[in-house]
Structure 1
Amino acid sequence: MPCAASLPALQALLSCPESVELSSLDFYIPLADPLALEPSQLDGLPLSRMVFTVRAASLADDAVQKRCKELSERGLRLMADGEVSITAAQAGIRGLDFDCSEALPSALAMMTLPGPHLARNIHFAPTGFALYRGELPRAQEHDAGQGDGTSRKRLLALLGLLAQDADSRELETLLKQDPALSYQLLKLVNSAAFAPNSNPISNFGQAINLLGRRQLQRWLQLLLYARQQEDGLANALLPLAALRAAQMEALCKLREGDRDEQDLAFLVGVFSLLDVLLAMPMTEIVSALNLDLDVVAALLDRSGQLGEMLALVEMHVPQTSALRDVGIDNETYWRSLLQAYDWALQVSRNV
Structure 2
Amino acid sequence: MSAPEISLYPLVALHAVSNAHNEWVALSFDLSAAEGDPFQAALTLLKTPDVFAALAPLDCILPVPHPHLLELSHLSTLPPNRVILRVPAAACADVAVQKKLAGYADAGYRIMVEGVADGSAATMCSARSLMVDASLVMPPVLALVAQPGPHLATGMHSEGRIAECAKAGFSWFAGDFALHPSHDISVGDGTSRKRLLALLGMLARDADSRELEVLLKQDPALSYHLLKLVNSAAFALSSPIHSFGQAINVLGRRQLQRWLQLLLYARQQDDGLANPLLPLAAVRAAQMEALAKALGWDRDQQDMAFVAGVFSLLDVLLAMPMTEIVAALSLDLDVVMALLDRAGPLGDLLKLVEHHDRAGLEQAGIDAETYWQAQLQAYHWAIQVSRNL
Would you call these one fold, judging by a TM-score over 0.5?
A: yes
Structure 1 segments (4+ residues) deviating >4 Å: 1-12
Return the match for 2:290 from 245, 250, 263: 250
SS at match of 1:184: helix
- Give SS of 1:21's match: helix
Amino acid across the alignment from 2:217:
K
Q: Report the equivalent of 2:20.
A: none
Which residue in the other structure is 2:375 paired with?
Answer: 337
Structure 1 window deviating more from structure 2 (105-114 vs 215-224): it is 105-114
Asked if 1:75 is matched to 2:116, the reply is: no
Query: Which structure 2 residues correspond to residues 22-171 of structure 1 after superposition, within 5 A?
Result: 22-84=55-117, 85-123=119-157, 124-125=161-162, 126-127=165-166, 128-136=169-177, 138-139=179-180, 141=181, 143-147=183-187, 148-171=189-212
Query: 1:142–1:279: 8 Å Cα contact kept in structure 2?
Result: no
Alignment of 1:162-241 (within 5 A): 162-194=203-235, 196-241=236-281
Look up the equivalent residue of 1:109 and give its one-letter code.
A
Cα drift, residue 12 of structure 1: 4.7
Asked whether 1:305 is paired with 2:345, we answer yes
> In structure 1, what is the equivalent of residue 15 of structure 2?
none
Separation in structure 1 between the aligned mates of residue 275 and residue 76 of structure 2, nearest angstrom: 40
Q: Give 1:3 deviation, angstroms.
A: 5.0
Q: Does 1:326 align with 2:364?
A: yes
Equivalent pair of 1:239/1:348 in contact (CA under 8 Å): yes
Q: Which amino acid aligns with 2:154?
A: R
Question: Whole-Å Cα distance in 1 between the matches of residues 50 and 320 of structure 2?
Answer: 36
How far is the alpha carbon of 1:87 from its aligned partner? 3.7
With over 3 angstroms needed to count, the CA separation of the structure-2 counterparts of 1:216 and 1:326, relative to structure 1, is: same
Q: Give, in whole Å, the separation in 2 of the partners of 1:193 and 1:137.
A: 26
Moved more, 319-328 or 249-258: 319-328
> Is the CA contact (8 Å cut-off) linking 2:226 and 2:260 kept in structure 1?
yes
Match of 1:16, SS state, is: coil
Deviation sequence 1:260-285 (CA, Å, 0-9, x none): 11111111111000001100000111
List gaps (5 residues or longer) in structure 1: none
8 Å Cα contact 2:222-2:267 kept in structure 1: yes
Q: CA deviation at 1:18?
A: 5.5
Q: 2:304 aligns with which of 259, 264, 271?
A: 264
Q: Matched residue of 1:119: which SS?
A: strand
SS of aligned partner of 1:28: strand
Pair 1:346-2:379 in alignment: no
Q: Quick one: percent identity of the two aligned structures?
A: 59
2:319 is the counterpart of 1:279: yes
Tell me, in whole angstroms, the C-alpha distance in 2 between the residues paired with 1:230 and 1:193: 27
- Cα distance in 1 for partners of 2:256, 2:301 equals 17
Deviation of 1:38 after TM superposition, in Å, equals 2.2
> Counterpart of 2:57 in 1: which secondary structure?
coil
Instruction: Provide the rounded CA distance (Å) in 2 between the counterparts of 1:154 and 1:23.
Output: 35
1:51–1:78 contact (8 Å) kept in structure 2: yes
Contact 1:145–1:276 at 8 Å: present in 2 too?
Answer: no
CA distance in 2 between partners of 1:178 and 1:43 (Å): 51
Q: C-alpha displacement at 1:214, in angstroms? A: 0.3
Deviation readout 1:46-69 (Å, 9 max, x if unpaired): 332221111112212222222222
Cα distance change of structure 1 residues 138 and 239 upon mapping to structure 2, 3 Å threshold? closer
Structure 2 distance, partners of 1:186, 1:53, is 41
Q: State the distance in 2 between where 1:325 and 1:271 align.
A: 24
Q: Which amino acid aligns with 2:108?
A: G
Q: Is the 8 A contact 1:82 1:96 kept in 2?
A: yes
Give the stretch that moved more between structures: 223-232 or 116-125: 116-125
Give the Å deviation of 1:10. Answer: 4.4
Structure 2 alignment gaps of length 5 or more? 6-36
1:142, distance to aligned residue in structure 2 (A): 5.3
Quick one: distance in 2 between partners of 1:338 and 1:104?
33
Residue number in structure 1 paired with 2:11: none
How far off is 1:74 after superposition? 2.9
Q: CA deviation at 1:40?
A: 4.0
How has the CA–CA distance of structure 1 residues 45 and 190 changed in structure 2, closer, same or farther, with 3 Å as cutoff?
closer
**Superimposed CA distance per residue, residues 287-346 of structure 1 (whole angstroms, 9 cap, x where no aligned partner):** 11111110000000001110011111112xx21121123210111111111100000011
Counterpart residue type for residue 42 of structure 1:
L
Partners of 2:98 and 2:4 lie apart in 1 by 19
